[in-house]
Structure 1
C-alpha cells in the first residue's frame, strides 16, 4: 500500500502538471475559448457513454493486469501528445482525437485503480485506504500545479506531457510488485459454459445490465447519487463561484483568489486525514456533511470581507473532503466484489452527467442571482434536498414491533402454529 501511494502521488503530480498547461495549450492552438470547452467535453463523453462497459471490463479481467495496461496506454497517449507539441504538429483534430482516446481509456482505468488500492488492505481498513488516496490526490495536485510552472518555463510545454507520461510508466512498473491481501473471485457469468471466452457481446451486455439493475435497486446508492449530484452542481464548483465572488463583490485580485485556492487545498488535505479515520461511513453521514457544507456555503456567500471568507473556506474544504471519502467508501464497499467494477462504471457515467451540466447551470444561476446569490441559493438547495431525503426515508422505514419479554406477556401470546 505504501508503494501504491507513492506511485499514485507521482501519477497525480504528473496529471496536474498536464492539466495546468492543457487549457492554455488549446487556447494557443485554436485561439478559441469554445474549443477549450469542447476538448473537455470530448474527453468526458466516453465516461457518459461507455462508463458501465468499462466497469464490466474491470469485473471480467484480472485487476492488476487491467490497471497496468490502462496506465501504460495513458502514458502512450501522453508521450504522443508531447511529441506532437514538440514538433509543432498538434492541430485541433489530433487534439480532439487524443482527448477522446484518453477519456475512453479512463473508463477502465478509473475503477481498476480504485479497486486495486482496496485489494491491498484488509476489509476493515478500506476506509483508511480511501482516505489515504484522497490525501495523496490533494498532495499531488499541489505538487503538480507548482512543478508545472517551473517545468514549462525551463523545458517548454511538451515537457509537462512527457512528465505525465513518465508518471504513468512509473505506476505501470510498480503494479506487478503489489501483493493483494485477498484475491478477488469472479464467478462465471450465468449462462456461459465453463471454458468459453468471456468476451462475447451478448454476455457483456448482460453484465452491463446487471450493474445498472443493482445500482437502481439499492436505495442507498441512489440516495448517494442524488446528494452527490446536487452538491457537485451547486456546491463544489468553487473555482467558478469563489473566483467571481473574490474578484467581484469582495474587490480582490488574482492573488487573493490564489490565497483562497491554497486554503481550499489545505482544507482538502486536513479532511482527507480525518476521513481516513472513518471506520463505518454511511449515506446518512454523507448527507449530514453535505448539508453542513451547504450551510457553510451560505455563510461564505454572505461574507462581508475576504478575511471572513478565508475563515469559512477552510471548514468548507474539510467537510467536502470528509464527505467525499465517506461517499467513496460506501460506493466501493456496498456492492458484492464481482459487481464493484460495474457499479463504479455506473457511478462514472452519472458523475459525467453532473460534471458536464454543473458549470453551465451554475453560470446561468450567477447570471440571474450574482455570485453571492448563487452561493446562498445553492447552499440552501443542498440542505433542503438532504432534509427532504431524511424525512422521506423516515416515512418509508417501518417502526419496530415491540417483542414481549415479561412472563405474563409471553403467556398471553398464542402458541406457535395456532390461530391468533
Structure 2
C-alpha cells in the first residue's frame, strides 16, 4: 500500500514539475514512509472533496494564479478610480463614455494580431513585457494626479495605451495554460481563473472606494502599479520548458481563414451575437457610476459597493457551477442566464433604493458569470483545434472591446433619455436578442457536453488560444 502511494505521489510531482520525482533515503525509513503515506492520503482526500482545486497543486499554475489574483485586484482598483476621476473631471456622461471607446479601439484593431503573436513568440516573455508596460502606465497616471496637472485627455491616452497592452496580454495568458497544468486538469484551471477574475471584481472596487475616500484619488494608481509585480515575480519563478515555435503562414492569411471558419459555423456566430448584445447594451462602469451619483445619490464608497455586489453575485455563480459540476445542457443553461441578466438589468433601471439596487446587481453578476462560463465552454467545444486561437480572439474582441465601447453608447443614451431610460433600453435589447436565438436556434438551445475526454481536450486546446 505504501509503495503504491509513493508511486502515485511521485507521478503527481512529476506531472507538476515535468521531471522525475525521487524521495531521499532517510533514517527511520518506516517513519518516513508512514509520514509520506499520511500526507498522500490527506492530499487525496482534499482532491476528492474539492477536485476543482487540484490545479493549485502544480507549482507553475499556483504561481500564476496567486500573481493574477493580486494583479487583477489592482486592475479593478485602478479601473474604478479611473472611471470616478474621469467623471469628476468632466461631469459629462458623454465624455465618460468616450473614455470607454478609447479602451476599446485598440482591442478591436489588435486582438487578432495579438493572438497570432502569442503563437509565434515565447509566451512568458510576452507577458513579462505586457505586465512591465502596465506598471509604467499606472505610475504615469498616478504622478499626473499627484501633480495636480491631470486632464481628462490624459486618461484617454492612458486608456489607449492600456488597451494596446491588453490586446497582446490576453491572448498570451490563454496561450500559457498548456504549460501550467496537465491535460486532465485544464477545465478546473479555467474555472479557477474565472473565480479569480470574479473575486478581484468583488474586492477591487470596494478597496478603490476606500482608498479614494481615505487617502486620495491618486493612491489607487500606485497600488495597481505595485500589484503587477506579483505576476511578474510569479512568471520569473516558473519552470517552463522551451518550446520551438510552430511554422505559420502569413498573419493576413491566418486572420482571413479564421474569420471564414467562424462565419461558416452554426454555433459560433450565435454566441457572438448574444455576447455583443450584452457587451453593448448591458451594464458597464460608466452606467453604474452615473447611477451611483445621479440616481442613487451616493459617493465613491457607494459606487464601490455597487460594483462589488456584481462581483459577489458572480462568485456565487461560480461556486454553484463548482458544486453542480459539468452542466450537460450548456446551451439551455446559457440562454437561461441571459434571460435572468436582462430581467435584473430592468429591475436595476427602475430601482431608487440602494439595497434593492445592490440585490439586483448581485443577481445580474450571478447571471453574467454563469453566462460567461457556458459561453466559453461552448465556444471551445464547438471550435476545431486548428482555429481555436482565432475563435477565442474574437470572443475577446466582442466581450472586452465592445464592453469598453459600450460606455460611449451609455453616455449618449444617458444624455438623451437619462440613466434609467438607457438601462431600460439595454435590458429590452438583450432580452430580444436572447429570445430570438432561443426560439430559432435549436442546435444552440440543445447544445450538450460531449464525453469527459473530449471536454478535457477542448479545454486544453482552448488554453492555446
TM band (smaller chain): 0.7 to 0.9
* One of 146, 161, 181 as aligned partner of 1:121: 181
Give the 3 Å change call, closer, same or farther, for CA 135–353 of structure 1 in structure 2. closer
Over residues 148-185 of structure 1, what are the superposed CA-to-partner deviations in whole Å (9 max), with x where a residue is unaligned? 355456765444323222222221120133357x9988
Q: Which residue of 2 aligns with 1:354?
A: 402
Distance 2:293 2:153 in 1: 37
Contact 2:292 2:303 in 1 (8 A): no
Distance 1:231 1:116 in 2: 28
The alpha carbon displacement at 1:61 in A equals 1.8
Distance 1:333 1:184 in 2: 25
Give the 3 Å change call, closer, same or farther, for CA 304–351 of structure 1 in structure 2. closer
- Higher mean C-alpha displacement, 3-12 vs 380-389: 380-389
* One of 292, 298, 302 as aligned partner of 1:254: 298
Over residues 225-263 of structure 1, what are the superposed CA-to-partner deviations in whole Å (9 max), with x where a residue is unaligned? 111112233343487379649975xxx542787665443
* One of 223, 227, 251 as aligned partner of 2:274: 227
* One of 190, 207, 216 as aligned partner of 2:254: 207
Distance 1:42 1:364 in 2: 15
Distance 1:377 1:324 in 2: 22
Distance 2:156 2:420 in 1: 36
Alignment of 1:160-179 (within 5 A): 160-178=220-238
Q: Which residue of 1 aligns with 2:442?
A: 394
The alpha carbon displacement at 1:388 in A equals 2.6
The alpha carbon displacement at 1:321 in A equals 1.2
Contact 2:82 2:155 in 1 (8 A): no
* One of 314, 317, 322 as aligned partner of 1:268: 314
Distance 1:85 1:367 in 2: 28
Contact 1:126 1:329 in 2 (8 A): no
Pair member with larger Rg: 1
Distance 1:183 1:338 in 2: 22
* One of 176, 183, 189 as aligned partner of 2:248: 189
The alpha carbon displacement at 1:89 in A equals 5.8
Contact 1:131 1:273 in 2 (8 A): no
TM-score (norm 1): 0.74
* One of 373, 390, 412 as aligned partner of 1:342: 390
Over residues 64-100 of structure 1, what are the superposed CA-to-partner deviations in whole Å (9 max), with x where a residue is unaligned? 2222221122122223333444455655665544332
The alpha carbon displacement at 1:57 in A equals 0.9
Give the 3 Å change call, closer, same or farther, for CA 11–332 of structure 1 in structure 2. farther
Q: Which runs of 5+ in 1 are unaligned?
A: 191-202, 398-420
* One of 193, 198, 218 as aligned partner of 1:138: 198
Q: Which residue of 2 aligns with 1:290?
A: 338
Q: Which residue of 1 aligns with 2:371?
A: 323
Contact 2:349 2:423 in 1 (8 A): yes
- Higher mean C-alpha displacement, 313-322 vs 53-62: 313-322
Q: Does 1:218 align with 2:273?
A: no
Give the 3 Å change call, closer, same or farther, for CA 396–261 of structure 1 in structure 2. closer
Give the 3 Å change call, closer, same or farther, for CA 174–209 of structure 1 in structure 2. same
Q: Which residue of 1 aligns with 2:130?
A: 70
Contact 1:84 1:90 in 2 (8 A): yes
Contact 2:145 2:218 in 1 (8 A): yes
Give the 3 Å change call, closer, same or farther, for CA 174–84 of structure 1 in structure 2. same
Contact 2:80 2:285 in 1 (8 A): no
TM-score (norm 2): 0.67
Distance 1:166 1:306 in 2: 33
Contact 1:51 1:349 in 2 (8 A): yes
**1:219 counterpart SS class:** coil
Q: Which residue of 2 aligns with 1:195?
A: none
Contact 1:211 1:346 in 2 (8 A): no
Q: Paired residues, what number?
A: 381
Distance 1:335 1:300 in 2: 36
Q: Which residue of 1 aligns with 2:40?
A: none
Contact 2:93 2:415 in 1 (8 A): no
Alignment of 1:45-64 (within 5 A): 45-64=105-124
The alpha carbon displacement at 1:223 in A equals 1.0
Give the alignment's Cα RMSD to 1 decimal. 4.0
Give the 3 Å change call, closer, same or farther, for CA 185–339 of structure 1 in structure 2. farther
